[in-house]
Amino acid sequence: MIQRILFWLLLRLEGGDAMVAMFFAQRIIFGTTEYKVVPMSLRKEVDIILTESGVEFLIEK
């Protein structure tokens, strides 16, 4: 529930998509969120962040 509220709030802020993508990428890296719950609209940006972070093996295709 809190994750959904945070997601909604971050999307409303300027540059929200990038912030939410970073949020999801960090949660995936720390193991608190699975890649499959990332919204399709953010997956491309999350993929870029994970690849640049050297953890592209966490990307599920």
> pTM of the predicted model, to two decimals?
0.75
Q: Which residue has the tokens 């093996």?
A: 57
Helix, strand, coil content of the chain in percent (nearest 5): 75, 0, 25
Task: List, for residues 45-58, the tens digit of each pLDDT value.
Answer: 999 999 999 999 99
In which band, very low, low, confident or very high, does the pLDDT at 17 lie, cut at 50, 70 and 90?
A: confident
**In the chain, what percentage of residues exceed pLDDT 70?**
82
* Phi-psi region at 31: left, alpha or beta (left = phi > 0; alpha = psi -120 to 50): left
Using pLDDT thresholds of 50, 70 and 90, give the confidence band for residue 10.
low
